[in-house]
Amino acid sequence: MSGRGGRGRGRSLFTFNVDSLGFGRGEALPTGVQAPSPLYPPMQFRPVPLQTGEEVEYMLALKQELRASSKNLPFHIQPSAPRKDVARYSDKYQSGEAKCGEWTPDWSRLPKELCIKVQKSRKAKTKPVVKSKIKPAAPKEVLQKLENLEKKEAENQSEEEEDEEKKQKKTGEEEEEPDDAEDYNEEEFEEETDYIMSYFDNGEDFGGDSDDNVDEATY
């Protein structure tokens, strides 16, 4: 086993090229840096220095004045004052400037086309339902109405009975008609048979004179 180990070549300690790190073979490796790394890397491009002079300072003053005067105009949306009912822990971390609230413009300076018209909801007017007062009927009127109803019912019943009687008569007449037709047919049949019996000839008298000369030939 020891002989096999001496035959092969020794393997390198690193699997990559050491020259790419900046030092060659045989040189000592750099020691580890124990100091903290820099907070920010060095800047390649530095910012342009601020312009100074009387003109620049004058423009800056005008800008600040315009910003302050714009807040005093009537068209500036003023922030609504917050309600401090309860002291909260987060109030001290919020900015001192309040948030913007609603703006009520001066409509006298704006055209009518831009005015916002708030339509109020109209309540549907419902007419009160007037209940008709029912007058109590007199007892005489009630009795008269009952009598009229009874008369109408009696008339309807009489009409229905008459209609039923008419229907029964019609059905009875229709049942009687086929019996007469049968009698009529029987009478005709009897007359025909009488005529046939009176004029029936069986042919026995035919050729009675020629019985004597049976053997003689006839021409």
For residue range 19-51, list pLDDT tens digits in order. 777 666 777 777 777 888 878 888 888 888 888
Beta partners for residue 79, in sequence order: 100
| Separation CA 21–CA 173 (nearest Å) | 139
Give yes or no for residue 58 having a pLDDT over 90. yes
Say if 51 falls within a structural domain.
no
Work out the widest C-alpha separation in the chain, in whole angstroms: 189
Asked if 187 contacts 181 with a C-beta cutoff of 8 angstroms, the reply is no
- For the chain, percent of residues with pLDDT exceeding 70: 56
Q: Using 50, 70 and 90 to split pLDDT, how confident is the model at 1? A: very low
- 47: its two tokens: 């910012």
Which DSSP letter does residue 79 get?
A: B
Q: What is the mean pLDDT of residues 193-212?
A: 57
100 three-state secondary structure? strand
CA dist., res. 79 & res. 96, Å (int): 11
Q: Is 203 a member of any domain?
A: no
Mean pLDDT lowest for which of 8-17, 46-55, 88-97, 120-129? Answer: 8-17
Which residue range(s) make up the domain with 175?
138-197
CB burial string 128-149: b at 16+ within 10 A, e below:
eeeeeeeeeeeeeeeeeeeeee
pLDDT for 64: 93
**Placement of tokens 């903290």 in the chain:** 36
- What does the pLDDT look like over 7-19, one tens digit per residue? 555 555 666 676 7
Residue 210 lies in a domain: no
186 located within any domain: yes
Angstrom distance (rounded) from CA 217 to CA 219: 7
Contact between residue 77 and residue 101 where contact means Cβ atoms under 8 Å apart: yes
Structural domain contains residue 155: yes
Number of domains composing the chain: 1
Q: pLDDT band at 160, cuts 50/70/90?
A: confident
The answer to whether residue 17 sits within a structural domain is: no
- Give the residue with greater pLDDT, 196 vs 68: 68
**Which amino acid, residue 186?**
E
Structural domain contains residue 45: no
Residue 138 makes CB contacts below 8 A (sequence gap 6+) with none
Q: Is residue 131 part of a domain?
A: no
Name the pTM for this structure.
0.23
Place of tokens 């580890």: 32
State the first-to-last Cα distance of the chain, in angstroms, to the nearest integer: 166
Q: Which residue has the tokens 């000369």?
A: 213
pLDDT at 66: 92
